[in-house]
Amino acid sequence: VQKPANPWEFYINTCLDDRLQPAVRHLFCSIRSAHLFHNGSVMLGELHNYGTLLNAVNIYRTLSDKVMPQPLILYFTVCILHTVEQLHSVHVIHADIKPDNFMLGERFLENKCFDSDSVDHGLVLIDLGQSVDMQLFPEGTAFTARCLTSGFQCTEMLSGKPWTYQTDYFGIAGTVYCMLFGTYMQVTNEGGVWKTNGVFRR
């Protein structure tokens, strides 16, 4: 249920239905139907009932190590990169990549081992309501608008430079950072070099 209504999310969903190969369609939320009203919308889709990556990060924060094991972070990172690569290949920018927008479903628990070529890892990218369909713009188009959530503005937005797919790469970096450190990434510009607020282990 969304308030206000967001028919754009349903439009992007139908674009993915049309453009993605069936073998990778399950990497993204799939909306079976949308019911649009003046004050909101109801969208029916598959239930992913094991929470989000952010939930997983927060669970690990309560344990002795405080952060997710690095092999698991590497696994999720490969899965995330592959998922976003599929999205970009059909000319869609997600524009809101963060740990809360990756869901875990049954497929994740059924996955027995890591296979970098497998798309059965069970991670699902959701919330396509901010997405940009690059097929609607002339080739070479770039944007100068800034997203409203300050912590998720890519460095191009922060420095007033045009951007396209960079916002998704920044979102991936922020998601991986969150898994590594258990907190959201913040960046600062020091002498023309963008740096994060975390100190990486050797």
Q: What per-residue confidence (pLDDT) applies to 114?
A: 64
Active-site residue among 17, 18, 65, 96?
96
Mean pLDDT of the chain: 91
What token pair was written down for 193? 């070099």
Residue 49's pLDDT band, with cuts at 50, 70 and 90, is confident
Query: DSSP class of residue 101?
Result: G
Whether 120 is catalytic is no
In this predicted structure, what is the pLDDT of residue 147? 82
Instruction: Find the mean pLDDT for residues 189-193.
Output: 93
Contacts of 197 (CB under 8 A, 6+ apart): 185, 186, 187, 188
Q: How confident is the model at residue 8 (pLDDT cuts 50, 70, 90)?
A: very high
Whole-prediction pTM:
0.92
- Would you say residue 146 has pLDDT above 70? yes
150-179 tens-digit pLDDT = 678 999 999 999 999 999 999 999 999 999
Instruction: Tell me the CA end-to-end span of the chain in Å, nearest whole number.
Output: 45
Q: How far is CA 170 from CA 56, 63, 84, in A?
A: 21, 28, 12
